[in-house]
Amino acid sequence: MTRRALVIASLAAIGRADSADEVWDLIGAMASALSEANASEFMHPFDSSMPGYQHVHDAVTAITRDYTIEVAVDQVSNDGNDSARTLETDWRLGFALGGDAASLVRRSERIKFKLEKKGKPWRIVSLDPLPAFDPPAGQAHLRAG
């Protein structure tokens, strides 16, 4: 392989890593927003035309309003290219109703995000499972915020 071909191959690998890093950074920012009870910032990367968008919006609004939330997220896989990626993640969520540590409920979720680069920003176009960010069962219910 010529030196020129090696440089081009290296640059192509860097481009792929950048896209993978960009979407992982986006998920990290969402986790931070959730732990800071910032529903608006958490929802920012979602494409509003995504199926189930309103459900996710209502769930996140409810949990950020009613709970103190502990968040940890790990990457399981990050596949795709510079225009579309699928990111599988493990989320560990802790919900304390009204900040009361005695009411802490822990939950683990494996969540798959499909993202597309629409213009400059990455947008989440699919979330599975859709109820991943619902409030803990038996403590609160979804109500418009």
Task: Report the largest interatomic distance among the alpha carbons of the chain, rounded to a whole angstrom.
Answer: 64
Residues of the chain with pLDDT under 70: 1-17, 138-145
pLDDT of res. 137: 79
pLDDT of res. 13: 44
Q: Which two tokens stand for residue 3?
A: 């030196």
pLDDT of res. 138: 58
Task: Report the distance separating Cα 61 and Cα 133, nearest Å.
Answer: 10
Q: How far is CA 11 from CA 6, 24, 117, in A?
A: 9, 20, 20
Which CATH number describes the domain made up of 3-133?
3.10.450.50
Identity at 143, one-letter amino acid code: R
pLDDT of res. 8: 41
pLDDT of res. 30: 98
**Threshold 0.75, pTM exceeds:** yes
Residue ranges per domain, the chain? 3-133
Collapsed DSSP state (helix, strand, coil) of residue 121: coil
pLDDT of res. 91: 97
Collapsed DSSP state (helix, strand, coil) of residue 44: coil
